[in-house]
Structure 1
């Protein structure tokens, strides 16, 4: 009887230690976006961490501000905030989009109907409809100066020097 109890204690101790030593990995911000009906590519690969509160407030932290390209250039500040609910990021802060040489703050991002293949960006002065396919994969984000230099060369400004 004592051997049985000793073996049971050993088995339970081993199981307990194996579960406590293997910490479950928390989902990435890109996994969280997908689970909420949004494409993973709304935020760059370079996200360091995030906080998602019970009331839906989301804070996303990047090591430094950076630029990425969807249809146009977008600027991510070091902290991007929004209220996350299924299919939408509302009250976005820390994200701007270039439109006709102006940088406009993105206010809201909404996917009303995933079957439509369209995502809507509210940039304050207009609602911009873009293809969801632009946001399938998280973009690589570059420091502000790097993307500018590449864009100049691409557009031919480098040849004018």
Structure 2
């Protein structure tokens, strides 16, 4: 049985449509509701990212990129800082190798490296901030936090003294 030219075009269009539809499930430019659904389907609480999610992309290799309108501050149990782009490798129950998320501990802003839910029935989520593993209640992450924009240059790493006003102190 040979495919006619018209049958071939139809098959090509059908496969193209299926590819586009499958890609649209991985990338979204809608509200944070879609990122909530993705996180929950991966064993994580839906409220890990703020309402201000502009879009996100889940790449085939598991890299999750979440885009916000601007950097912002929110609060779970302590202050958290979201950069305008947050990246992590998403596997079931884990966001590993995070970039763009910091948590305030005492007077320091420490980068969050991993977020892990080993056992959802325990009611605990673990934030790895490098120097320690912080266990928090999963209930803190049921709803997306409200993120307030602010001038966050002083929180971002690798900013010179001159940029944050220390040039006058010399």
- Whether TM-score is above 0.5 comes out as yes
What are the ranges of 5 or more consecutive residues in structure 1 without an aligned counterpart?
Answer: 1-22, 146-161
* 2:77 counterpart of 1:91: no
Q: 2:39 aligns with which of 33, 39, 42?
A: 33
Normalised by the length of structure 2, the TM-score is: 0.69
Residue 6 (structure 1) aligns with: none
What are the ranges of 5 or more consecutive residues in structure 2 without an aligned counterpart?
Answer: 1-20, 29-33, 152-170
1:83-122 to structure 2, matched below 5 A, reads 83-122=89-128
1:3-18 to structure 2, matched below 5 A, reads none
Larger radius of gyration: 1
How far apart in 2 are the matches of 1:80 and 1:87?
A: 17
Q: 2:150 aligns with which of 125, 144, 149?
A: 144
Q: 1:54 aligns with which of 60, 64, 68?
A: 60
How far apart in 2 are the matches of 1:70 and 1:51?
A: 24
TM-aligned CA deviation for residue 97 of structure 1: 0.2
Q: Which runs of 4+ in 1 moved over 4 A?
A: 23-27
TM-aligned CA deviation for residue 144 of structure 1: 2.5
Q: How many residues align?
A: 124
